[in-house]
Copies of this chain bind each other. A is one copy, B any other.
Amino acid sequence: MLLLSCPDQPGVVAHVADFIWRNGGNIVTAEQHTDHIDGLFFQRVEFTLDGFAVERNEIAEAFAPIAERFLMHVRVHFSDERPRLAILASKSAHCLVDLLARSAAGELRADIALIASNHADHADLAAFHGIDFHHLPVGDDPPAQDRAMTALLQSERIDRVVLARYMRILSPDFVDTFPNRIINIHHSFLPAFVGAKPYRQASERGVKLIGATAHYVTADLDQGPIIDQDVTRVSHRDDVEALARRGRDLEVIVLARAVEADLENRVLVWGHRTIVFH
């Protein structure tokens, strides 16, 4: 699979398609997007490797002349890749339980390498699923915990980090270690209700819908590129606790969809926005 972006110009699609066809591949899915304001072209092309004339580890090199000609930024992925994923959680279990169930059902294109938390609560759940659990309490030294978490993820060669209601603000160093590789679920329809206690904010504002937003984590809190969002209808009857309860169902599904899109290499980050192909 090729994920590419380049300045928009005639011939890009023709050359990419020709490369695949000449080497004996058949395009399974192809999606493209042109941003007319910035003059940029984006494409995701998935093709068969069965009988492909180029070995999989030589595809990038073989494609390099085309990439150079069109000034492309290219990523090459394979549908059988299984990145090592770490799930970070705090007290709440709902997103964690859901991701583990999806993994157990074979729905996630990743190996969950570890679960880590600032609390000890989920050790049994991790054990039930046969996944390593790391308890890194915050204690008196939050920066030390943050450094320890970063070090753990590095030493375990983690490719992607999912914050499944992990209620810690990550340090810039942590974030920089995994650029566009950390997915967070925020319990509001961003950019409404950034920061803490969004359900309380929503209740006080009297909104008629509450939302959840999955986004890549950047150094700017709650400002990262949005991958997916959804909302559900609420009413005056719903107090803060009821909003939180209804919100949990949203958080679960929005985070799951975002993680799946990311793992299937359907997301291209472009500035602080995303292109999410189907």
The residue that A207 contacts in the complex, of B24, B27, B190, B253, with Cβ under 8 A, is B190
- The distance in angstroms between the C-alpha atoms of A29 and B18, with both chains bound, is 18
- The distance in angstroms between the C-alpha atoms of A236 and B189, with both chains bound, is 17
- The distance in angstroms between the C-alpha atoms of A278 and B239, with both chains bound, is 13
With contacts A30-B32, A189-B192, A226-B208 known, is A13 near B21, CB below 8 A?
yes
Residue of B nearest to A12 (CB): B27
Is the CB of A159 closer than 8 A to any CB of chain B? no
Stretch at the interface among A101-109, A133-141, A160-168: A101-109
Closest approach, in angstroms, between the C-beta of A225 and any C-beta of chain B?
6
- The distance in angstroms between the C-alpha atoms of A13 and B104, with both chains bound, is 37
With contacts A189-B192, A206-B272 known, is A20 near B30, CB below 8 A?
no
Chain A interface size band reads 35 or more
| B245 close to A229 (CB less than 8 A) | no
- The distance in angstroms between the C-alpha atoms of A11 and B271, with both chains bound, is 34
The residue that A237 contacts in the complex, of B193, B227, B271, B278, with Cβ under 8 A, is B278
| A205 close to B226 (CB less than 8 A) | yes
Is the CB of A25 closer than 8 A to any CB of chain B? yes
Q: Mark A238-267, 1 if CB is under 8 A from B, else 0.
A: 010000010001000100100000000000
| A14 close to B21 (CB less than 8 A) | yes
- The distance in angstroms between the C-alpha atoms of A60 and B205, with both chains bound, is 33
| A10 close to B26 (CB less than 8 A) | yes
Residue of B nearest to A214 (CB): B208
| A37 close to B239 (CB less than 8 A) | yes
Chain B residues whose CB sits within 8 angstroms of the CB of A29 once the complex forms: 32, 34
Docked complex: A192-241 residues within 8 A CB-CB of B: 192-193, 205-209, 211, 225-231, 233, 235-237, 239
